[in-house]
Structure 1
Amino acid sequence: MTPDHVLDLLRDRLDPLDAEDCTPVRGDGDLNGLPSPTGRILKPAAVLAPLILHDGPPRFVLTLRADHLPTHAGQISFPGGRVEAGESLAEAALRETEEEIGVARDHVDLIGRFDAYETVTGYAINPFVGILKPGFTLTPEPGEVADVFETPFEFLMDAANHQRHSREFQGRMRHFYAMPWQDRYIWGATAGMLKSLHGRLYG
């Protein structure tokens, strides 16, 4: 798929940036038959799915979280985090992207957003897709990010690569999506959001 076709598809299928409904429709419990705990108040968060459409085939930028972080240490994720007081979800995604991988907001063209995702740790993650403009520099923040890398859009959006894995957690088997690519193990919330994006674009 050419960069122009990818861009047209995203513009046609994603929600507008200012969409008001942030209720998660996807989450860590999707493959486990686990409903969201009644009355739980989710902490709002936002991530950016940075997409490169120049200098080669379309590809997403992903991060490897530092091993010393208190949550999701050593996991692969999109840049993002909690929403701060007074900022919108989109502003949070852009701020976190600049803080974590050094890409300033003037190098990001926000295209739209897709389904919010509920994590077992109590976050409502709102994912945005943004096209990275030529001229940006990736500079990972070592306190949060151990590495930054690119993964082909075609690979991540191919349903044949959407695997279902399992492991024991707190005494029970938990099931989750995984998209192993080369030596990278993309799984959990990030793989779940990519699966959701695939459904939005191709479902």
Structure 2
Amino acid sequence: MTAAPQTAALLDRLRERLDPVEGPTGLPRFGDADLNGGAAGVPATFADVEIRTAAVVAPLILHDGPPRLLLTERASHLPRHAGQVAFPGGRIDDNGETAAQAAVRELEEEVGISPAHVELIGRFDAYATVTGYHVTPFVGVIKPGYVVRPDPGEVADVFETPFDFLMDPANHQRQSREWQGHVRHFYAMPWQGRYIWGATAGMLKSLHDRLYG
């Protein structure tokens, strides 16, 4: 099969399986609690954290080769999640901004890809983190001609990972480590020296389940 039919089939599946871009997101269906004995959000140990809403984009590149996702490595000096691999995204403003608007805005602020070069094609399940974020993730197709200009205040690096690798269940490892006195279990998808784990890997797992589960 040539690359063009594969790309068309992937787009068809995304449009069929994902939720509309605009619309109510509801409570998270997935989260850090999934592998830690919790349900509908975060484990009870972290139930008193402040809930904050956020949105991210899973930027999908379909031209110039096989499909791949663009990911960031967060700057090492950030107070939260420093050095971790993440989707571009951040908090939703309290001024009536929608999740979709926040996702596109953060994509431009963090990595410099303008709204003119991204088409949000769908939304998948909201994700709850142990730090109190309810994250709405979108898939956005990145159009040719985009330029990546990472904000050094937030992003240390930007890289691409094959979509097929991230959607292969064989690469969805379950790992654990101690965090704040508790053993935390999480998904991890190490790829060529990049350690994709935690909420980002959890959202990728939920995207896989939405598309292929």
TM-score range, shorter chain: over 0.9
Partner of 2:56: 47
CA drift of 1:173 comes to 1.4
Partner of 1:9: 13
**Amino acid of the residue matched to residue 66 of structure 1?**
A
Which of these residues, 59, 66, 73, is aligned with residue 68 of structure 2? Answer: 59
Tell me, which stretches of 5 or more residues in structure 1 are unaligned? none
Partner of 1:130: 140
- Spell out, residue by residue over 1:39-59, the C-alpha distance to the aligned partner (whole angstroms, 9 max, x if none): 765211000000000000000
How many residue pairs match? The answer is 203
Contact 1:22 1:126 in 2 (8 A): no
- Spell out, residue by residue over 1:53-90, the C-alpha distance to the aligned partner (whole angstroms, 9 max, x if none): 00000000000000110111100000000001221000
Q: Where do 1:1-203 residues align within 5 Å? A: 2-35=6-39, 36=42, 37=44, 42-84=51-93, 85-203=95-213
**Amino acid of the residue matched to residue 152 of structure 1?**
P
Task: Calculate the aligned-residue CA RMSD, in Å.
Answer: 1.3
Q: Distance in 2 between matches of 1:142 and 1:176?
A: 28
Q: Which moved more, 1:22-31 or 1:61-70?
A: 22-31
Tell me, which stretches of 5 or more residues in structure 2 are unaligned? none
Q: Distance in 1 between matches of 2:211 and 2:23?
A: 18
- Taking structure 2 as the reference length, the TM-score comes to 0.92
- Percent identity over the alignment is 66
CA drift of 1:178 comes to 0.1
CA drift of 1:171 comes to 2.0
Q: Distance in 1 between matches of 2:82 and 2:158?
A: 15
Contact 1:51 1:132 in 2 (8 A): yes
**Amino acid of the residue matched to residue 36 of structure 2?**
N
Q: Which has the higher helix share?
A: 2
- Taking structure 1 as the reference length, the TM-score comes to 0.97
